Amino acid sequence: MTFEQLMREPQHLLLKCVSGSRAYNLALPGSDTDIKGIFALPQKELYGLTHTEQVANASHDEVFFEVGRFIDLLCKNNPNILELLSTPENCVLFRHPLMQLIRPENFLSRLCFETFAGYAKTQIKKARGLNKKILQTFEKERRSVLDFCHVVRDNGTKPLKEWLQENGFDQKDCGLVNLDHFRDAYLLFHEERGKEVGGQLKGIVSSDAANDVWLSSVAKGVKPLAVMHFNKDAYSIYCREFAEYWRWVEGRNEERYLNTMSHGKNYDAKHMMHTFRLLNMAEEIAVHHKVMVYREDREFLLRIRSGEFEYEDLLREAEEKMGRIEELYAVADLPEAPDERAAERLLVRIREEFYK
């Protein structure tokens, strides 16, 4: 089964809904229309060697789950799946009569604390990660190994590049030898010593793109000009963050980034909005035993999205709310987890009825 085949053969559909911001009552002008749904595999494919659990269009704004995968995720209290099952009626485009057999209240459990509130924690982490990237700035050209090297000078150290410039040296005319018992420390030699060196100096690095220093061989007894240290740990961290930053720049949603910058709070307000949406839904499940997809708290959530609140204030409020929700789940009249055997019987019944 492919997405294109499902579109050509809609008789396999069990459910098709508008999802995302439009189902949440959080859509703004220009918001995308996301579609989610459920389908049943053609009977021959179900009995064969291939088994398709999920199909989507190229942009992944239309996603459909095979009913077996759907029930499996439902037993795990997956937020997206519980939301799909509880989609407001005005967002339901098609519902097969067999869907009446799958009732969300039969699957709600204390797992929802981990899934909804846990997902909220993920959104906080994403917001923090983006906040870090927004506040970071990296030059387009990556710094080299030489930028992380220092030589011992008097009672302190001096950046290697400055030391080379002061002495009129080129790094290509230098050479390094390991300094025993000192991690990432080297004896530094220069060709001005002539034949005293007793070998060919290779340079400090092989090229500007090198990721480590280069060692040379030097005759015993030759005195070095300096002791040099390469801060390899700092260089590794820098290279990782440099690569992550430019991958983020290349792949970021430019419109969303500009919106983040426009409100001047330097955090991804959309991530923070969904953090509080998920926390509020987790609380509602514990108290009301319902998944409330349509958000009556639209005004508050959109205020977060518009950047009305300070980042640290939101984080503090989210952490306090997480604590209150944990207390609610400790006393909530909910099972520890859904009944998987009952879910399996339900799946078998749906397949039997559907394939008739």
Hey, what are 121's tokens?
């924690």
How far apart, in whole angstroms, are the C-alpha atoms of residue 338 and residue 106? 7
How far apart, in whole angstroms, are the C-alpha atoms of residue 204 and residue 177? 10
> Which residue in this structure is represented by tokens 């319902």?
290
Quick one: pLDDT at residue 104?
92
Quick one: pLDDT at residue 347?
97
How far apart, in whole angstroms, are the C-alpha atoms of residue 350 and residue 102? 9
> Which residue in this structure is represented by tokens 């008789």?
11
> Which residue in this structure is represented by tokens 């339901």?
92
Express each pLDDT in 198-221 by its tens digit.
567 899 999 988 999 999 988 888
Quick one: pLDDT at residue 191?
82
How far apart, in whole angstroms, are the C-alpha atoms of residue 97 and residue 303? 39
Check if the beta carbon of residue 24 is closer than 8 Å to that of residue 305. Answer: no
Express each pLDDT in 40-68 by its tens digit.
999 999 988 888 999 999 989 999 999 99
Instruction: Determine which of 16-25, 245-254, 272-281 has the lowest per-residue pLDDT on average.
Output: 245-254
- Answer yes or no: is pLDDT of 264 > 60: no
Instruction: Enumerate the CATH 3.30.460 domain ranges in the chain, comma separated.
Output: 1-107+338-356
Q: Which residue has the higher pLDDT, 117 or 292?
A: 292
Quick one: pLDDT at residue 154?
86
State CA 329 to chain mean position distance. Answer: 27
DSSP-derived 3-state class of residue 295: coil
- Architecture of the CATH domain 1-107+338-356: 2-Layer Sandwich (3.30)
Mean pLDDT score of the chain: 89
How far apart, in whole angstroms, are the C-alpha atoms of residue 26 and residue 46? 38
Nearest alpha-carbon partner for 239 in 161, 150, 146, 142: 142
- Answer yes or no: is pLDDT of 83 > 90: yes
How far apart, in whole angstroms, are the C-alpha atoms of residue 158 and residue 165? 11
> One-letter amino acid identity for 157?
T
Nearest alpha-carbon partner for 151 in 224, 233, 239, 235: 224
